[in-house]
A = this chain, B = another copy of it.
């Protein structure tokens, strides 16, 4: 029984126990930071990280994405997630680091809108699989100009944050995508000749609903109308009946795929689907458009978004020989003329060595930059969803009789361009429902076209929604809460750097500039909703009054007829006049 007693610490004893912490050790212990708090969320996070990577790769390479996602239960509490894309593929040498090293990637050191940005996600999913099942991440990839594909199995050495390669083979690549034909039978779509397939086995749980991989994929299809997505989930009929691993042969989904064992690149020992599994059919989310989204461009930092320390670092790192060229080369929106003006304002020589300035006069330079009038950052680095696509997406999601969408102009936080979009769909309230008991509106959150399902409570989007006074737009709203009503509110932020509240990228940090833009967009949609709702209320009121007149007029007629002893013709005349008069006086008030 090992249980160490402790004596009081001294500076010396403390020094002895101080050491470096590998980033992989840190995240292994803090795996909830990466979205692996619980088995259900682990499944969603893994699917999300893999699909985000596939979409980014296809978008960057200008390929119309076709992605297939398979979730297959392999034991009582185990699932294998396999995601296959028709992207550009990954060169062999990069595969181990991309899939088994945290903080490694191509998206961090640039200013360009993409789904991934940290270089953590997919390696973290593999690390979680390894932690909970001891298995490796299996990758197959083929690039365009190569004859062979690579099959690589990696684990992450968590003490060093480095990949350990367990298998490294070449193999013939077979196009492995599915498209459902008219009979619902999946067929391999033969046109795909390159791409990447990643497969991870992990401890997980599958529960349908608002926080499931299903919901993520559905929302993904809504905001990525150019994506063709195939999805299949296979759960064990009696979960736990089959052994956790080493079960019988793969039960493939369809005739075409069967026998080849190609669909899931699992190693021999770990079949994708255990015996006794309830094999589901593939679901396909078809493309809404074959048009590729606008290709966002990479930009350089805007001078007004750079902090003093960062400016000093940039001056040290620059390859430019003079201060003037450092300013005009390394920043966006800084012409040669503006650079010279800034130098003059700071009383610095435009020909000075940048590194020299970094050490001594950076503060004067920083001040001069802050005072310079410059164009706002370029915004072609952003690729918003667009009002039309938001409306189309909402129409898919909710049957409503009012839809509206707003795409705001780009704005800037900490030098990073960002753009907010909001859409609202409002359904006719169900007459059978008690209006007071209405549910909160559903808020769909997206960041760089990625659905955000968890952590709404911490998200700037929910903060913005609750901050708007919805009562003035005709919706009920409890204090500090989301408004009530049969509505869906969609919020999207597009940015070269989305400030998430944690590495799991589930909620947007509360930057005031961002919340302000969201508020403006929500208010604009709110005003439009208000016009619609008050028009509808007026119509309903009119309708009610008209019904009232229609109902009581015959009784009135009968009374008048008796009192005044009218004949039928007189009665009709009088009633006709009355009807018109009542409508005029009554309905106009």
| Total contacting residues, chain A, CB less than 8 A | 102
- Chain B residues within an 8 Å CB radius of A19: 104-106, 109
A431 at the interface (CB under 8 A from B): no
- Chain B residues within an 8 Å CB radius of A15: 90-91, 93-94
Q: Which residue of B lies closest to A358 (CB)?
A: B134
**In the complex with contacts A60-B14, A295-B6, A32-B106 CB distance below 8 A:** no
For A466-491 the 0/1 string (1 means CB < 8 A from B) is 00000000000011010000000000
A89 at the interface (CB under 8 A from B): yes
**In the complex with contacts A10-B144, A14-B60, A455-B458, A103-B20 CB distance below 8 A:** yes
**In the complex with contacts A14-B57, A298-B4, A300-B2, A26-B309 CB distance below 8 A:** no
Contact of A1 among B118, B328, B509 (CB under 8 A): B328
CB proximity of A515 to chain B, nearest CB, Å: 11
A333 at the interface (CB under 8 A from B): yes
Asked whether B501 lies within 8 Å of A307 as measured between CB atoms, the reply is no
Q: How far is the CA of A553 from the CA of B203 in the complex (A)?
A: 75
Instruction: Give the residues from 296 to 342 in chain A that come closer than 8 angstroms, CB to CB, to chain B.
Output: 297-300, 307-310, 312-313, 328-335
- Chain B residues within an 8 Å CB radius of A60: 8-9, 14
Asked whether B330 lies within 8 Å of A458 as measured between CB atoms, the reply is no
- Chain B residues within an 8 Å CB radius of A11: 61, 88-91, 143-144
A512 at the interface (CB under 8 A from B): yes
For A141-156 the 0/1 string (1 means CB < 8 A from B) is 0011000000000000
Q: Which of A125-133, A213-221, A394-402, A520-528 contacts B (4 or more CB under 8 A)?
A: A125-133
Q: Which residue of B lies closest to A339 (CB)?
A: B1
Contact of A378 among B3, B61, B330 (CB under 8 A): B3
CB proximity of A99 to chain B, nearest CB, Å: 12
A18 at the interface (CB under 8 A from B): yes
A21 at the interface (CB under 8 A from B): yes
CB proximity of A322 to chain B, nearest CB, Å: 15
A23 at the interface (CB under 8 A from B): yes
For A64-81 the 0/1 string (1 means CB < 8 A from B) is 000000000000000000
**In the complex with contacts A5-B297, A37-B510, A307-B26 CB distance below 8 A:** no
For A431-465 the 0/1 string (1 means CB < 8 A from B) is 00000000000000000000000010110000000
Q: How far is the CA of A479 from the CA of B333 in the complex (A)?
A: 50
A119 at the interface (CB under 8 A from B): yes
Asked whether B134 lies within 8 Å of A309 as measured between CB atoms, the reply is yes
Q: How far is the CA of A30 from the CA of B508 in the complex (A)?
A: 12
A97 at the interface (CB under 8 A from B): yes
Q: How far is the CA of A8 from the CA of B296 in the complex (A)?
A: 11
Instruction: Give the residues from 244 to 300 in chain A that come closer than 8 angstroms, CB to CB, to chain B.
Output: 245, 295, 297-300
- Chain B residues within an 8 Å CB radius of A245: 363
Contact of A38 among B28, B132, B378, B512 (CB under 8 A): B512
Asked whether A501 lies within 8 Å of B458 as measured between CB atoms, the reply is yes
A499 at the interface (CB under 8 A from B): yes
Q: How far is the CA of A500 from the CA of B32 in the complex (A)?
A: 8
**In the complex with contacts A144-B10, A378-B3, A134-B332 CB distance below 8 A:** no
A98 at the interface (CB under 8 A from B): yes
For A504-519 the 0/1 string (1 means CB < 8 A from B) is 0001011110000000
Candidate in A37, A110, A334, A378 with the most chain B CB atoms within 10 angstroms: A37
Question: Would you give 21 A-B contacts (Cβ < 8 Å), ordered by A?
Answer: A1-B332, A1-B334, A1-B335, A2-B334, A8-B295, A11-B89, A14-B88, A18-B105, A20-B104, A21-B104, A22-B103, A23-B23, A25-B108, A26-B103, A32-B509, A131-B307, A134-B312, A203-B307, A245-B363, A501-B502, A502-B502
Chain A contacts to B: CB under 8 angstroms: 1-6, 8-12, 14-15, 17-23, 25-26, 28-30, 32-33, 37-38, 57, 60-62, 88-91, 93-94, 97-98, 101, 103-106, 108-110, 112, 118-119, 130-134, 143-144, 158-159, 203, 245, 295, 297-300, 307-310, 312-313, 328-335, 362-363, 378, 455, 457-458, 478-479, 481, 497, 499-503, 507, 509-512
Given known contacts A2-B330, A10-B143, A134-B362, what 16 new A-B pairs fall within 8 Å (CB)?
A3-B297, A3-B378, A11-B61, A11-B91, A12-B143, A15-B90, A17-B110, A20-B104, A23-B23, A131-B308, A133-B308, A134-B309, A134-B363, A159-B313, A478-B479, A501-B501
